[in-house]
Amino acid sequence: MTGTAARRWAELQSGRGVPPEILAQAPADPWAHNPDDFAAPAVAADTPSRDAALALLGEGGTLIDVGCGGGDATFAVAERVRHATGVDRQRDMLELYIADAAARGLPARTVCGSWPESAAEAGTADVVVCHHVLHNVVDLPPFLRALTAAARRGVVVEMLTRHPMVWLDPLWARFHDLRRPPPATDEDAVAVLRELGVTPEVRHWDRERRPPHDPAWVARRLCLPADREPEVAAALAEVPPRSRSAATLIWRA
Ligand SMILES: C[S@@+](CC[C@H](N)C(=O)[O-])C[C@H]1O[C@@H](n2cnc3c(N)ncnc32)[C@H](O)[C@@H]1O
């Protein structure tokens, strides 16, 4: 049975969707992530998520990275990982992941598919990490349950404290006359976990500021054609900077 917190999460996330009439006119997929934006840095940032994963890995262990992208979460703790499995629904992300793993000499494999449907193929590992994926998910309980089930020791989830695209809400109003409902937060995710009988440790922190995305990127997100980019650039100048507020959720399996 779906609990109150899970229903609230699903409603808030559904409110972030793009109406079909706007999507139908989009010149490009507004949801697709560009692998170039997700290449892992050579030297990992020192974060609470990294600390938590290192603690769970102890002297060494296996790891599954759900929604791995270019492997930021994996490679941040590579020195303690004996074998890594990168799971992502975008094949081009997995190509980047496996190439970087090879370059770093880390034994790894990839599973292409959407979580939790791909969980059986991914199998189990000592530690499961999942960074910046929850805000893409509508039906959270099966997603979270599968993270726990895949982990022998524990799970580390990293997320922004509010939906990452909330900074573009003023531009949805301006360009599409679309008023967005409030975004889901890390507290909403924690409430869903509690309904599943899990009380995570939560650490709040600020990510290193990333440069704002360029007008071409934002125009695609807003389902606008390239010839609107100058207008988007002008509008972006009036939008407050993106929040850096992040949360790490840690629980034992
Ligand atoms: C914002 S990126 C984060 C990538 C990486 N974890 C990081 O922190 O840099 C989200 C990634 O999750 C993937 N993704 C989103 N939902 C997913 C799902 N349900 N199953 C598998 N992959 C998913 C996307 O394709 C994308 O590569």
Q: What is the distance in A from the centroid of ligand 1 to the CA of 165?
A: 15
Domains of the chain as residue ranges with CATH: 4-164+183-213+246-252 (3.40.50.150)
126 lines ligand 1 (CB under 6 A): no
- Decide whether any atom of ligand 1 lies within 6 Å of the 251 Cβ: no
pLDDT score, position 137: 97
Q: Is the pLDDT of residue 30 over 90?
A: no
Lowest mean pLDDT among 158-162, 213-217, 223-227: 213-217
Per-residue model confidence (pLDDT) at position 110: 98
pLDDT of the residue at 127: 98
Q: Is the CB of 115 under 6 A from ligand 1?
A: yes
Verify whether ligand 1 is closer than 6 Å to residue 74 (CB atom): no
pLDDT at 24 over 70: yes
pLDDT tier at 1 (50, 70, 90 boundaries)?
low
Kindly indicate the confidence band of residue 151, based on its pLDDT and cuts at 50, 70 and 90. very high
pLDDT (0 to 100) of residue 50: 98
Q: 51 or 213, which is more confident?
A: 51
pLDDT surpassing 80 at residue 209: no
Read off the pLDDT band of 123 (50, 70, 90).
Answer: very high
> Residue 226 has what pLDDT?
92
| Mean pLDDT computed over 145-158 | 98
225 CA to middle of ligand 1, Å?
Answer: 25
- Interval 99-122: pLDDT, tens: 999 999 999 999 999 999 999 999
Q: If you average pLDDT over every residue of the chain, what do you get?
A: 94
Lowest mean pLDDT of 6-20, 25-39, 42-56, name the range.
25-39
Q: Whose CA is nearest to atom 12 of ligand 1?
A: 67
- pLDDT attached to residue 38: 86
Residue 250: exposure state from Cβ atoms within 10 A (0-12, 13-18, ≥19): buried
Q: For residue 35, which atom of ligand 1 is closest to its CA?
A: 27
Strand partners, 113: none
The atom of ligand 1 lying closest to the CA of 72 is 9
Averaged pLDDT, 177-190: 94
Which ligand 1 atom lies nearest to the CA of residue 114?
20
